[in-house]
Amino acid sequence: MSDPKSADVLKIAVLGAGSWGTALAALMARHGHQVTLWGRDPVVAAAIDGQHENTRYLPGIPLPDTLRATTDLATSLVDADQVLVVVPSHAFTETLRKLAPLRPAKAGVAWATKGFETGSGRFLHEVAEEVLGPDVPIAVVTGPSFAKEVALGLPTAVTVHGADAEFAQAVADVMHGPAFRAYTGDDMVGAELGGAMKNVLAVATGVSDGMQLGLNARAGLITRGLNEMLRLSAAIGAKPETLMGLAGLGDLVLTCTGDLSRNRRLGLALGRGQSMDEAIREIGQVVESVQTADEVMRLANRHGVELPISAGVQAVLHGEITPVDGLRQLLAREQKPEYPDTLFR
């Protein structure tokens, strides 16, 4: 387990040199920690190391001179006190498997990846427990946080959830600073559900805005989307307060309203009548909402929870219905009480 040495400088390995991994690595380096960023792309690594800029993912934003980058995983992990994994969810399992034999014995593992394991639909903490074993402290970092704004030093709040309270606090401590608030909690299931589901719901609000349906429609979709999050979270044993906090409501509002969100931009393009291929090509980065929508609906069906907005998004993403038909189906649903009686009991 990471040894929180009071005000000491910690050695931190950040795995994943995309926009979010780079932003978090820069944040911790600015807080005085020794941070090494690992990425697969030698051009990106060389630019971070030599020019102090991620020219591909965060162009024009200066990075700390002290931030190091490498394409050699073993080098990044030497003597690390903490490991932070920030790769897309489809690469999460493979990255953990490569990390496991190289991880220093003292180093806990956190991740800022959102989504489910591709194929199995497992939560990422379930993957981590299996790959790393039960004795390695783990935590998830989540919340409303566009990478570009964090890299620019704009105010941001996230939450760190883990069963090992000491490790969750240690992860929060290295991130917490003048413009970055890091809260803690112990509900990994709820934190991960919120981080994944908001990407699906952001497509819905993007479609609505792309169709120019107005701000009332957007607010209605966000609120009813939160209702879907809460009902599914109750079925799988998460805490409702987690979904009402930064991991759920916070991330949902940001992703549904902010045009830096890739999932929102996908919805906007579809709502304007563009094809899926055109939309993804235009965005130019990984958009994981198709796979995430499938996993959310698989989880909902397993627990017998009806999620009309998420189901509509899944159908639109697979080309089974048009956005117009999806909207028509939502509006044609029967009237009902806003919340089931049992939700908060």
Tell me the pLDDT band of 2, cut-offs 50, 70 and 90: very low
Instruction: Kindly give the pairing relationship between strand 138-142 and strand 108-111.
Output: parallel
* Residue at which a domain ends, from 133, 155, 186: 186
- The per-residue pLDDT for 107 is 98
Secondary element (H or E) of residue 325 = helix 323-331
DSSP-H helix ranges across 73-214? 73-77, 92-99, 124-132, 147-151, 165-175, 188-210
Single pTM value for the model: 0.95
Query: What SS3 class is residue 50?
Result: helix
- The per-residue pLDDT for 114 is 96
Measuring CA to CA, which residue among 227, 242, 120, 262 is closest to residue 192? 242
Q: Are residues 171 and 215 located together in one domain of the fold?
A: no
Range of 320's domain? 197-331
- The residues, any chain, with a CB within 8 Å of residue 140's CB and separated by 6 or more, are 110, 111, 112, 124, 125, 160, 161, 162, 188, 191, 192, 195
Region 103-115: mean pLDDT is 97
pLDDT at 151 over 80: yes
Region 305-333: mean pLDDT is 95
Active-site annotation holder among 11, 106, 198, 239: 198
d(CA 29, CA 65): 9
pLDDT at 4 over 60: no
Q: Are residues 233 and 258 located together in one domain of the fold?
A: yes
d(CA 198, CA 229): 8
198 labelled catalytic: yes
Q: Are residues 206 and 71 located together in one domain of the fold?
A: no
- The per-residue pLDDT for 8 is 87
CATH assignment of the domain containing 238: 1.10.1040.10
Higher pLDDT, 257 or 1: 257
Counting the structural domains of the chain, the total is 2
Q: Are residues 164 and 269 located together in one domain of the fold?
A: no
Measuring CA to CA, which residue among 136, 86, 76 is closest to residue 111? 86
pLDDT at 3 over 80: no
pLDDT at 1 over 60: no
The answer as to whether 341 is a domain residue is no
Q: Residue 258 half-sphere exposure, CB side, CA atoms within 13 Å? A: 17
pLDDT at 167 over 70: yes
Query: What are the φ and ψ backbone dihedral angles of 130, each rounded to 5 degrees?
Result: -70, -45
Q: Are residues 222 and 182 located together in one domain of the fold?
A: no
pLDDT per position as a tens digit, 276-307: 999 988 887 767 888 999 999 999 999 999 99
Region 115-137: mean pLDDT is 96
Q: Are residues 72 and 139 located together in one domain of the fold?
A: yes
CATH assignment of the domain containing 44: 3.40.50.720
Enter the tokens of residue 199.
């990407």
Q: Are residues 90 and 226 located together in one domain of the fold?
A: no
Enter the tokens of residue 18.
């995309």
Distances (CA, A) of 207 to 21, 54, 213, 279, 328: 28, 31, 9, 12, 13
> For the sheet containing 180-185, what is the strand order?
68-70, 34-38, 11-15, 82-85, 108-111, 138-142, 156-161, 180-185
Query: Computed over its alpha carbons, how large is the radius of gyration of the chain?
Result: 20
* Residue at which a domain ends, from 131, 155, 186: 186
Share above pLDDT 70 across residues of the chain, in percent, rounded to a whole number: 97
Angle between helices 215-236 and 188-210 (to 10 degrees): 160
Region 334-340: mean pLDDT is 91
The answer as to whether 337 is a domain residue is no
Q: Are residues 119 and 175 located together in one domain of the fold?
A: yes
pLDDT per position as a tens digit, 200-212: 999 999 999 999 9
pLDDT at 187 over 90: yes
Q: Which residue has the tokens 């639909």?
A: 121
pLDDT per position as a tens digit, 32-73: 999 999 999 999 999 999 999 999 999 999 999 999 999 999
pLDDT at 6 over 50: no
Q: Are residues 26 and 145 located together in one domain of the fold?
A: yes
Bridge partners for 157 per DSSP: 181
* Residue at which a domain ends, from 134, 159, 186: 186
- The per-residue pLDDT for 7 is 54
Enter the tokens of residue 219.
């607010």
pLDDT at 87 over 90: yes
Other residues' Cβ atoms within 10 Å of the Cβ of residue 204: 32
- The residues, any chain, with a CB within 8 Å of residue 149's CB and separated by 6 or more, are 156, 260
Higher pLDDT, 236 or 7: 236
- The per-residue pLDDT for 131 is 98
